[in-house]
Amino acid sequence: MSLERSIRPLERLQTLRECLDRKGFARILEAHSGISAIIAESARIQKDGEVIEYDGIWESSLTDSATKGLPDASIVGYDSRIHTIDEILNVTTKPVIVDGDTGVEPVLFEYLVKRLERLGVSAVIIEDKVYPKRNSLDEFANQDLEPPAVFAQKIKAGKEVAVTNEFMIIARLESLIAGKGVQDALDRAEQYILAGVDGIMIHSNKQDPAEILSFAEAYRPLCQRLGRRPHLVCVPTTYNTMTEAELISIGFNIIIHANHLLRAAYKAMAEAARTILMSGRSLEADALCAPVKDIFSMVGYDHIIRKDRERSELFRLLERENNGVAPRPGYSR
């Protein structure tokens, strides 16, 4: 129920670090709207006697843009993104990680960090590509990287603006996406770690996880040499033969399932739209749709109706005490 899902911003902000300290990893699912965030927050299963759920929510540039019918190419601006983020925060309690795209440039990034931290977002991830970026899953797009020293300045600027120790700035390495290889990613990771990042995300759009595996293997000695190990983050969209357990065993701390609710909704919506056209009525589409009562209960409509009934009861009592005169005309039905 939306109204009951409530938490103070600072309290929420801290819960991602707490989760990582407690379990060593966080399982994150994408959301692009209030309703998808409610699903990400409340999905829960029992497996081998254990309750399994998501530890937090990824606010994705790809799916936020696609929800608006727009491409993921730095077109949807931060004000609009913050509107979606606020919509998600309004109906959930779990930590939120925001996809900050490139962060644009240091001044814009500073203002973004300030706004996200104030809202209670736990982390922002920025990628070391040149603004305006293209989506990383597009293997044919130009994927130009920013010089690492320039990107490191942006990280430092963001770190200086953050007012809590808990808010995390995570650097996303796009070397593998740009075809520059694992060594380029490691060299960049070193500069970003020295600049003070709280996490390193290594991204790949290949089905074969070989490069991801070799980065993860080299990450440990790199961090040992630098004396600090920021959390390691991955987005296994293309190499999704790997399980979470396997990714955790090679050192990943945050695993982001980055676009699955939007893709699932898109497929179901397209099928429902076609089915109604084919049948000339909506009966056949019912099987593809959740019952309205499920939506009512998910978003808190049931709660309002319960409260309405309680209030009507009270007004009926007052009316009786008042010799049949309604305390507020039209209310006691």
What are the residues binding Mg ion (CB under 5 A)?
61-62, 99
Pick between residue 259 and residue 275 the one whose CB is nearest to ligand SPV.
259
The closest residue (CB) to Mg ion is: 61
Q: Which residues contact 185 (CB under 8 A, 6 or more apart)?
A: 173, 175, 176, 202, 215
Rounded Cα gap, residues 151 and 133, in angstroms: 14
- Spot the catalytic one: 64, 72, 99, 198: 72
Instruction: Please say if 72 is a catalytic residue.
Output: yes
Residue among 20, 25, 34, 3 nearest 243 (CA): 25
Task: Output the DSSP codes for 42-101.
Answer: H-EEEETTEEEE-SEEEE-HHHHHHHTT--SSS-S-HHHHHHHHHHHHHT--S-EEEE-T
Q: Is 136 in the site for ligand SPV (CB under 6 A)?
A: yes
Single out the segment in contact with ligand SPV by CB under 6 A; choices: 46-54, 87-95, 133-141, 274-282.
133-141
Q: C-beta of 57: minimal distance to ligand SPV in Å?
A: 12
Residue 137 contact partner, candidates Mg ion, ligand SPV, none, CB within 5 to 8 A by sort of partner: ligand SPV
Residues 6+ apart with CB under 8 A from 33: 67, 84, 87, 88
Tokens of 273: 């739209």
DSSP-assigned states of every residue in 19-46: HHHHHS-EEEEEE-SHHHHHHHHH-EEE
Give residues with Cβ within 8 angstroms of 206, minimum separation 6.
176, 238, 239
The nearer residue to ligand SPV, 14 or 61, going by C-beta atoms, is: 61
- Contact track, ligand SPV, 257-276, x by CB under 6 A: -xx-----------------
Query: C-beta of 64: minimal distance to ligand SPV in Å?
Result: 8
Site for ligand SPV (CB under 6 A): which residue of 41, 55, 87, 99? 99
Q: 27 - beta bridge partners?
A: 255
Among 37, 62, 91, 112, binds ligand SPV (CB under 6 A): 62
Identify whether the C-beta of residue 155 lies closer than 8 Å to the C-beta of residue 196: yes
Among 33, 36, 60, 67, binds ligand SPV (CB under 6 A): 60
| Pairing mode, strands 50-53 and 44-47 | antiparallel
Q: Which residue lies nearer to ligand SPV by CB, 94 or 133?
A: 133
Q: Give the one residue of 135, 143, 175, 204 binding ligand SPV; rule: CB under 6 A.
A: 135
Total number of residues shown for the chain: 333
Residue 237 contacts which entry, ligand SPV, Mg ion, none (Cβ below 5-8 A, type-dependent) = ligand SPV
Binding to ligand SPV by CB under 6 A, coded x per residue (else -) over 229-248, reads ------x-x-----------
> Which range, of 11-19, 21-29, 46-54, 58-66, touches ligand SPV by CB under 6 A?
58-66
CA distance 43 to 31: 12
Q: How far is the CB of 143 from ligand SPV (least distance, A)?
A: 10
Give me the residues that bind ligand SPV (CB under 6 A), please.
60-62, 72, 99, 135-137, 235, 237, 258-259
Catalytic (active-site) positions: 72
